[in-house]
Each structure stands twice: as structure tokens, then as C-alpha cells.
A and B are shown apart, each in its own frame.
Chain A
Amino acid sequence: KQEVTQIPAALSVPEGENLVLNCSFTDSAIYNLQWFRQDPGKGLTSLLLIQSSQREQTSGRLNASLDKSSGRSTLYIAASQPGDSATYLCAGFLYGNNRLAFGKGNQVVVIP
């Protein structure tokens, strides 16, 4: 069974600092990896998708990378803002498995 670990589980940073969120998979045979944002009581919003032929994706202040050999992904958020406060979830599709496996998330608070 694929297990996904996200470290740290929770963190607080002052506004303006860069955020680095980590995700690791027990099975590194990942072909798609997605990072999501979830606000309290809400659904999941897709932030970035790294497809099988890619190693990283960027959108605005967000950058996500995937190292398939080690089964690790990192989400980098530059110059954090209070509006970035949320839970960030990573999830991956494995080859031969048609379900996204999720971590428990990184709960982020950006202090003004």
C-alpha cells in the first residue's frame, strides 16, 4: 500500500518568508503528482500537476519539484502572504494504480 508522508505537519512563518513543504512516497513508481490547497471546511483546489515526463512545475510564486528516483516532492512558496494560510496536500498516481494516494497535509499559518 502506498503511504505518503508530509513534513512538517504544521508550521507558522512570518509574512514574507519562503515556505518549503516536503512530501515522500513509499513507492517511487509515480507517474503524476499533484499539489492541492485546502481551506477549512472546503474542497481541494489543484495548484500544480507534475506529469510523468516532467520534473517540476511553476505557477506564480509556487514551484513544485519531483524526484522520482527517491519518491520525494517539494512545494516551494516564495514570499509568503497571509492569504497562503491553508493546508497543502500532495497526492500521487502510481503506475498500474488508478487512485490518487494522499498525505495528511502540511498546515501552514502565515503571520502578518
Chain B
Amino acid sequence: DTGVSQDPRHKITKRGQNVTFRCDPISEHNRLYWYRQTLGQGPEFLTYFQNEAQLEKSRLLSDRFSAERPKGSFSTLEIQRTEQGDSAMYLCASTIGGQEVAGELFFGEGSRLTVL
């Protein structure tokens, strides 16, 4: 399968624990996005990478959130000291992007986080 892969698909954790999600983009895609989606809402932008550089972060991404994309390949999104409000679907997407333009975005199946 050459699509965007996310792991784990589901994560249940207790408030205050740390969680990490992984995204493997389509291999030739240089741009990678993280979005968050809650029930009944459209996805909200969190951050994106161009190769290994994190170029933009949303104000939604508090200090408890950190994302990396070492070597410009897979990416991880870590949430520290989780809160119940972090419960959501975390979506990863990839595309081929230039300085001011981007192509078609392809999304993974998402990682659903439930914080008890």
C-alpha cells in the first residue's frame, strides 16, 4: 500500500499521560500536514512540514504539542500531559508542494485519541 499510513489507529489514555502518533507519508511527497478533527467539525490545521522543516504552526498547537519530521520522511506528533479536550481524530496528509503552491492532498485513516 503506497498511501499515507498512521499509527496507532486508536489510543485510549488517562489524563496527564503522554501520547505519540506516527505518520508515514507517500514516499515522494515532500510536504506533510497534521490536522485535528472533532465530532461534527471539519479538520483544523495544526502544523505542516516542507521536507524536514516545520514551516507553520497553528495557535491550536499549545506548548504541550510537538511535531517532528526527522530526515524529511515520517513524522511524529507528541502530546504531553494530555487533557480531555485533546480527545479528537488526528489526521495526517501529504502532498508535493513548492514555495507557494501545493498539489492534491492525500490523507491517512487518522489516529483517534480518547483521553479519560
A interface list, Cβ under 8 A from B: 4, 31-32, 34, 36, 41-46, 49, 52, 89, 91, 93, 95-96, 98-105
Contact = CB atoms under 8 A, between A and B. Distances in A.
* Interface SS, A side: strand
B52 to A, nearest CB: 16
Interface of B: 4, 6, 33, 35, 40-45, 48, 55-56, 91, 93, 97, 100-110, 112
Contacts of A91: 42-43, 105
Given A36-B107, A46-B104, A99 B42 contact: no
Contact of B55 (A32, A44, A93, A98): A98
B18 to A, nearest CB: 24
B107 A46 contact: yes
B109 A98 contact: no
Given A49-B104, A95-B100, A98-B55, A42 B110 contact: yes
Nearest to B10: A41
Contacts of A89: 42-43
Nearest to B109: A43
